[in-house]
């Protein structure tokens, strides 16, 4: 098989399979490495993303990410990639060089758009499963997501140290593992569990859970939801999803010190 022959890889995140069909077979090895544990081969999924692999694109830092809607399509541009996605047709195209970072960003945006339709979202949070229930650990960069993930006991199933995937399943919010990693640099486990709680992280001198008002919880939640598009309808959907989530899941502040004992609060 030559490099210019097609590569077909299906990447399933959050129960949503998206087939990436590239015009360069060598891109398949990049996808298989980047999304280890989330990829499969064979028949194409109902969701299809064509990858037009080109020699070079502009560096990502030269162009600010732009996501907007034109008719039925969402258009995305960040310099290192250009893409369009039609949620109705479940089809899209991304143009990029053969690297894992551009496709990663395109997939995050596509998943965020699809999640908004079902009351879900991507959250800037670490997450793990203990006792068949999932715990979300949210905060801005430096809040301690990676630190607390490294402290997790051996019986914890790590879903991610950076971007959590949340959506309702049969009337109950669930957290799914993602390959979107942070400082740890490794994909989370491809697993799912109903949510027990969302904790906003604050590093301190002790380990304790502090209550939080609904208004504060909604505000903090909205600040940590990954939200890419400037669109009135999508903004409204995400806000409603955040309000519904706060009514359904325990939200609180988790004050912790870098000690494995903090995980005794999540059991």
Confidence of residue 60 (pLDDT cuts 50, 70, 90): low
Residue 131 falls in which region: left (phi positive, over 0), alpha (psi -120 to 50) or beta? left
Please give the average per-residue pLDDT across 184-191, as a whole number. Answer: 90
Q: Supply the DSSP string of 129-179, one letter for each residue.
A: EETTEEEEEE-STTSSHHHHHHT--TT-EEEESSEEEEEEETTEEEEE--S
In the chain the domains, ranked by start, together with CATH numbers, are 7-116 (no CATH), 121-265 (3.90.228.20)
Q: Is 68 helix (H, G, I), strand (E, B) or coil?
A: strand
**For residue 201, what pLDDT band results from cuts at 50, 70 and 90?**
very high
Q: pLDDT per residue over 217-258, tens digit each?
A: 999 999 999 988 878 888 899 999 999 999 999 999 999 999
Distance of CA 241 to the CA centre of its chain: 16
For 108, 119, 237, the CA distances from 96, given in Å and listed in that order, are 15, 30, 30
What is the radius of gyration, based on Cα positions, of the chain?
19
DSSP bridge pairs for 39: 11
Q: What is the pLDDT of residue 200?
A: 96
Question: What does the pLDDT read at residue 153?
Answer: 94
| pLDDT higher than 70, residue 3 | no
Whether the per-residue pLDDT at 1 is higher than 60: the answer is: no
SS3 44: coil
Pairing between β-strand 66-70 and β-strand 73-77 as defined by DSSP bridges: antiparallel
Task: State the average pLDDT over residues 65-69.
Answer: 92
Contacts of 219 (CB under 8 A, 6+ apart): none
- Assign 216 a pLDDT band (cuts: 50, 70, 90): very high
Q: Mean pLDDT lowest for which of 34-38, 47-51, 53-57?
A: 53-57
Helix, strand and coil content of the chain, in percent to the nearest 5, comes to 25, 35, 35
Question: 96 and 109 in contact (C-beta within 8 Å)?
Answer: no
Instruction: State whether residue 117 is helix, strand or coil.
Output: coil
Q: How many Cβ atoms sit within 10 Å of the Cβ of residue 202?
A: 13
Asked if residue 156 has pLDDT above 60, the reply is yes
Q: What is the pLDDT of residue 40?
A: 83
How high is the pLDDT of residue 143? 82
pLDDT of residue 77: 94
H helix or E strand, kind and range, residue 206 = none
Q: What is the pLDDT of residue 58?
A: 72
Output the pLDDT for position 168. 97
Residue 2 has pLDDT above 90, yes or no: no
pLDDT of residue 228: 85
């Amino acid at each position: 098989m030559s490099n210019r022959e097609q590569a077909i890889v299906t990447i399933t995140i959050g129960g949503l399979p998206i087939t990436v069909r590239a015009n360069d077979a060598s891109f398949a090895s990049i996808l298989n490495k980047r999304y280890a544990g989330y990829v499969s081969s064979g028949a194409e999924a109902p969701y299809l993303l064509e990858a037009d692999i080109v020699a070079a694109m502009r560096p990502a830092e030269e162009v600010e990410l732009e996501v907007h809607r034109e008719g039925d399509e969402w258009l995305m541009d960040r310099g290192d990639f250009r893409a369009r996605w039609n949620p109705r047709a479940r089809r899209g195209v991304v143009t990029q060089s053969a690297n894992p970072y551009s496709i990663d960003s395109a997939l995050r945006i596509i998943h965020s758009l699809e999640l908004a339709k079902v009351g879900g979202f991507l959250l800037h949070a670490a997450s793990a499963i203990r006792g068949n229930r999932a715990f979300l650990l949210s905060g801005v960069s430096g809040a301690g997501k990676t630190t607390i993930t490294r402290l997790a006991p051996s019986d914890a199933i790590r879903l991610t140290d950076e971007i959590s995937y949340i959506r309702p399943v049969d009337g109950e919010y669930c957290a799914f593992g993602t390959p979107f990693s942070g400082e740890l640099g490794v994909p989370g486990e491809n697993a799912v569990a109903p949510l027990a709680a969302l904790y906003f992280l604050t590093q301190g001198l002790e380990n304790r859970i502090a209550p939080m008002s609904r208004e504060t919880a909604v505000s903090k939640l909205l600040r940590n939801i990954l939200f890419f598009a400037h669109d009135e309808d999508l903004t409204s959907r995400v806000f409603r999803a955040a309000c519904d989530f706060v009514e359904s899941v325990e939200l609180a502040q988790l004050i912790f010190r870098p000690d494995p004992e903090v995980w005794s609060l999540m059991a």
